[in-house]
Structure 1
Amino acid sequence: MKVAWSSALLLALAAESTVASSWFGTKAVYNKWHETELERWLSDHNIPYPKPADRKDLQNTVKQNWNAKIAQPYNDWSAPQLQTYLKQKGVQTQKVSDKNKDGLVKQVKGYWTESADSASNAYGSVQNWIFDSWTESQLKSFLDKNGIPAPQPRRRDTLLATARQNYASTAKKLNEYSAYPGSWLYESWSDSDLKEFLDARGVPVPQPSTRDKLVASVRRNSRLASLTLSEAAASASSSATAAKESLSDALLDSWSDSQIKEWADKNGIKVPQGSKRNELIALARKHRSQLVGDNPASSVSSAFGAATSNAKNEGSSVTEDAQLKSEDAFNQAIGTWSDSRLKAFLDARGVPAPQSGKKDELVKQVRLNKHKAATGFSAWTFDTWTVDNLKGYLSNQKNKAAKKSSASREDLVKAAQDSYSSASKSGGSNYASVTSYLAASTATAKDTTFDTWTDSELKAYLDSYGIKTYQGTKTNELKALARKNAQYFRYGTNSPGGSLWSSLSGSAQWVLNQLKIGAASGRKEGVKGGDAVKEAGTTATHRAGEAKQRASDKVKEEL
């Protein structure tokens, strides 16, 4: 009894020690940071601090803002970002402006799972999650740039493990700090990589964009990206478990008595003589683990496991494959654009148009800059504004065009563009007034894009891209075509909002559908279903590899 009591006491003391250690560690994780890291964290989260500042002042400023920025970051999100998060959770919301987003914040809070302690603990071991959202090529580039031998075989999971293992030593080698990483971590990323990361997760790209601002935004959102992948993995795992259960039941119901006996013999399960069907099924269910592991369902089950068990590690690969399709669609679209629209795309990004003026040269430049962020506001800001938005802007600028009842949308766009160009050239308070108005109005203008446009306005807009429409095209079709090309014009190959989650969820759902098909069709079809899933997965992998190679060859050819 004394031994048992001593053991219990030791366990209790150990548990208490662990809790205490965890409590002190999570509450003061930033106390171990260097002054540079404290300043970096404050800058990343747009928190002002005195310069120069001593360590104590910096720590106190971080402490005052830590919980709000780390445990409840959604309070600072824009309305679209809040809606993107809720959409990932399967919650449908109505469009609201940033001025009226309190309801969205409350909804997000209800779905938020990370506590202050878990968030703080995470920042005690950044290397364990900072690489989660990196693509395979980005991990490989990081290793190459820092002279770290890439593992064999070069799969994403092995590259990820190697990057994590060498994170701290790489920072030390570069004389950098690693508790809260600096820009050194993203040296192998291009500006387009940084923007693409933000676009794929519905995070507003800083305007105007600089590399430092892009890095800060990526770094600030990397923890959320890791959590999103973790949730996707958990969801996929849960779906896999449920699918295996339902699959085994469905298969048993479809098997004949002789098929069940055959399976039992193969697995060394004794079947009493004269067993009735219900007894056979009960016996099979008792040995469900063998049923899932050694029958036609296993091929489907293992295929599903391959697609879902490592969802966290493979998520970025799924996104890469989806990106290939996106880039292919983008390339096809710009191939039909007019020269003026191609030049406008480059102009909106501050990229000089080729002097030759040839269409193939314009297309080449657009492809090369497909991930480049648009440079703040420009004359192209008004490209998709409604008549009411345009009149509001022109009235604010006291432009006479706003009062002309006969003015078409094209006339108003031209007047707005001219007004903006004039203000940007003159600068000063006039330009400041213009940018202030645009900052307050642009989000509203985007939310209502094309909703109130007439067919003639939609056709005129598409005509600016060189896209011809035929008589009888339905309004919804015109709007869909206009939105697609407008998205390409604004964001290149990416469109903001939940694409990562959609890729993961869509992949898991597709495999689940294959499982259901295999189960419903019985043993014979189960084999076919399993083979089909394997074959489809192999084919998809080959096609993705071929597409990547073609894209690489094409870029080399164009360069």
Structure 2
Amino acid sequence: MRPSVLLFLSLSLTGASASLFGSNKPQYNEWSTPELKKWLNDHNINVPETYSQDQLKDLVQSNWNAASAWTYDQYASAQKSFADLREASFDAWDESRLREFLLEQGVVEPKGPREQLVLLAKSKYASYTSAASSFSAQASTAVYGDTAHQMTKSASSVAAQATREAARQLDDAKDYVYSTWEDNRLRNYLVEKGVLAKDAAEKKRSELLALMRDAYAKTTTPIWEAWSDSYMREWLIAHDIVAPGAPPPKTDVLKAKMSQYYYDVNDRVWGTWTDSDLKAWLVANNVIKSDAQVKRDKLVKLIEDNYVNAQDTVWEAWSDSQMRDWLVEHGEKTVPAQREKLVKLMQAKYDDVATTSATYLTWPDARLRAYLRNHGLDESALPTSRPGLLQETRIRWIQTQTTFERIRDIVNSGVEATEEKLASILNMLTGEAKSGADSAKKGAESAKKQAKENVKKASEEL
């Protein structure tokens, strides 16, 4: 490895030590008003002139964790909350919604007037949107040939994902199918649906549109059926399905594309399952008994706890030929032809693989298609079955486990000694690390143990 790379890694780790590894946090409880204001200004957090010292202290405390460096895992987890938001969204939220959002972001007790809650929500959003660019900036300073290229490529994909997931919030005045309706038509629709009384006082157009969002858009399935053609096209462009410079597709083409590719980051494959579907899966995977009486909320929770650890889930992402090749590569001389026997052999001899889970296993088909398109698979080559989609996704998922991501895992690990971290990175880059298989096996054993505990717990609660 070049000395310059070691220097870069050393400086990066040293510079990040305070935020990532150390416990040397300033005692802001003892700070003066100027010190509190300075910290807030240094971290680009707007400070109202009327704030008292206690309010300033609350604002610092609320932003303390957000101001430190994000790991990629933190960024990935935050996508669920920040998808389809923009900074201006928080200005329209009431105090209840703001407090709920902040609680989700780890603010234990959101305090203060609405103005302060909006500021805090915006700072959380700013921290999220800056995470991807931070990864990119760190990666671009690397100077190790192919390694630098891989790190930059990985960071660029993070930034692209942030752009796609943090899509523009829908605008009542232009982004829905009813946005062009005349006021009388809006009013008549709302009266017909019982949202507005016939003798209700005249309402402004903005108020009528806000009511329509609840009466029309929120009851439309799928949700994009309520969108205007222009917003559907915008979503498809943001997700690399439609080229920005291409002529606007017709409505039926847009809807066909949305039907094939639309997903929300919170969607899971079981999201559209009926109660019977959920129960059938749980019975088939020995989580509950066939005569169990379980409400839908409980069924969903049991699916969430057990889905990725189920054998059917894991092996669905492997084709027969992929399993045969893997077995041969790992020393198996006699490989069966039948899939059932292949799965049984894989499970028995290489249990660490069977219990390795990946987030894509829970994605709905639409998200798998979008992922494959974004990773170079032509639309005409997309598999038509879920197993096929999973198998193609698994191949690309493994290929994108880049050097940058592995370095990130080492940097964010619990190892305190900088020299030890550098040694781990050096071993990884020079191909000298020998403990990967052991670590994977330990992780697999832990996942398997957790799965068994989930099944036991579920049985006890029923």
Task: Give 1 or 2 for the bigger CA radius of gyration.
Answer: 1
TM-score, scaled to structure 2: 0.31
